[in-house]
């Protein structure tokens, strides 16, 4: 999978490290089909109630100003009804993913929690874009966006030691951070992320988005639209400086995706404003 492999040893160590990552929570695998088949609230409650951390987050969000005006929530069941299927699965996904983003990603010169903030931001922006272009599979796009940089949660440990080498390469050879990761470490965060997503048995479409979120032109045609969505959402969030670290500005951006998705400068301003409002409302409830 690697484009280059300088020593082989380091890349083996990195992959071994990724293999140790705990499996993706089973609650998501159990919940997805229930939500898709519009199962009764009782059945959904039965799955969530055994995960106290998730149940607490579901209740907290349903009591937030976003929902509390419409419903008075006194139980998990009330909370599930108040959120509705789409919001519920998003909260559960966010709460489950948060666990993997804990710790300090010093490798990319990010503050603690910044990579998580970036991931949630890209997920919210993707959601806004999916509504805008009426993309059908909103939950898949949201999941892919949430996990697009999952490779960084492992790679940051190894980037730390090689950081100077990577930066020097970016500056001297005028290459982007992604290419430098590959040249110095033998693997980039997209490739590593795809390995993790595969190991978690996530659907092919999510593996593909994680693998090509910086290079949507390289993904197989059937997954191109969704990859472009996450690519553009990532670029918009990065343009606001949210959790992009030193590599943010040296990542490739496929300018043509903006025209392909019919996003004019005026529209992107509108999207950013909508994002601001939603991010403000959701931030504290999404899993820190
Ligand atoms: Fe990335």
pLDDT digits (tens, 9 = 90+) for 135-156: 988 888 999 999 999 999 888 8
Q: What is the mean pLDDT of residues 46-69?
A: 83
Task: Judge whether 126 and 233 are in contact, CB under 8 Å.
Answer: yes
Tell me the domain boundaries of the chain.
9-22+104-285
* Å from CA of 214 to ligand 1 middle: 6
More confident residue, 175 or 285: 175
User: Residue 115: pLDDT above 90?
Assistant: no
* Å from CA of 149 to ligand 1 middle: 5
3-state DSSP helix/strand/coil % of the chain, to nearest 5: 70, 0, 30
* Å from CA of 9 to ligand 1 middle: 24
Q: If you classify domain 9-22+104-285 with CATH, what class do you get?
A: mainly alpha
**Any idea which of 100-114, 116-130, 174-188, 192-206 has the lowest mean pLDDT?**
100-114
Token pair for 66: 């976003």
Query: String of b and e for 238-253 (b: at least 16 CB within 10 Å)?
Result: beeebbbbbbbebbeb
User: Residue 1: pLDDT above 50?
Assistant: no
pLDDT of residue 3: 45
DSSP letters for 82-95: HHHHHHHHHHHHHH
* Å from CA of 238 to ligand 1 middle: 10
Q: Identify the burial level of 159 via C-beta atoms within 10 angstroms of its C-beta, where 0-12 means exposed, 13-18 middle and 19 or more buried.
A: buried
The band of 220, judged by pLDDT with boundaries at 50, 70 and 90, is very high
pLDDT of residue 2: 43
pLDDT of residue 215: 93
* Å from CA of 7 to ligand 1 middle: 24
The band of 6, judged by pLDDT with boundaries at 50, 70 and 90, is low
pLDDT of residue 8: 67
* Å from CA of 177 to ligand 1 middle: 10
Q: Is residue 160 classed as helix, strand or coil in its secondary structure?
A: helix
Task: Give the span between the Cα atoms of 259 and 265, in whole angstroms.
Answer: 10
* Å from CA of 84 to ligand 1 middle: 31
* Å from CA of 255 to ligand 1 middle: 16
* Å from CA of 30 to ligand 1 middle: 28
Determine if residue 84 is left, alpha or beta; phi over 0 gives left, psi from -120 to 50 gives alpha, anything else beta.
Answer: left
* Å from CA of 251 to ligand 1 middle: 8
User: Residue 287: pLDDT above 60?
Assistant: no
Tell me the C-alpha to C-alpha distance, in Å, between residue 208 and each of 17, 64, 82, 112, 141. 21, 34, 33, 27, 11
* Å from CA of 234 to ligand 1 middle: 8
* Å from CA of 108 to ligand 1 middle: 11
**Any idea which of 27-41, 147-161, 199-213 has the lowest mean pLDDT?**
27-41
pLDDT of residue 258: 85
Average pLDDT over the chain, rounded to an integer:
84
């Amino acid at each position: 999978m690697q484009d280059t492999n300088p020593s082989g040893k380091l890349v083996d160590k990195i992959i071994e490290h990724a293999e140790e990552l705990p499996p993706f929570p089973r609650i998501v695998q159990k919940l997805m089909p229930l939500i898709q088949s519009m199962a009764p609230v009782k059945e959904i409650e039965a799955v969530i109630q055994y995960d106290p951390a998730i149940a607490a987050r579901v209740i907290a969000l349903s009591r937030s100003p976003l929902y509390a005006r419409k419903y008075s929530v006194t139980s998990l069941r009330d909370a599930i009804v108040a959120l509705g299927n789409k919001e519920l699965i998003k909260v559960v996904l966010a709460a489950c993913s948060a666990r993997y983003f804990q710790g300090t990603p010093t490798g990319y010169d990010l503050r603690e929690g910044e990579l998580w903030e970036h991931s949630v931001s890209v997920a919210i922006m993707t959601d806004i874009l999916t509504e805008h272009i009426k993309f059908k599979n909103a939950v898949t796009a949201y999941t892919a966006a949430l996990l697009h940089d999952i490779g960084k949660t492992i790679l940051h440990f190894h980037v730390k030691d090689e950081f100077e080498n990577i930066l020097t390469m970016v500056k001297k050879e005028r290459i982007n951070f992604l290419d430098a990761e590959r040249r110095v470490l033998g693997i980039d965060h997209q490739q590593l992320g795809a390995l993790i997503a595969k190991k978690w048995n996530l659907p092919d479409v999510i593996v593909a988005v994680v693998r090509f979120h910086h290079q949507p032109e390289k993904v197989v045609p059937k997954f191109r639209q969704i990859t472009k969505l996450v690519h553009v959402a990532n670029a918009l969030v990065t343009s606001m400086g949210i959790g992009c670290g030193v590599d943010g500005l040296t990542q490739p951006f496929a300018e043509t995706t903006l025209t392909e998705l019919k996003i004019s400068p005026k529209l992107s301003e509108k999207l950013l404003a909508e994002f601001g409002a939603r991010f403000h409302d959701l931030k504290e409830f999404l899993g820190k």
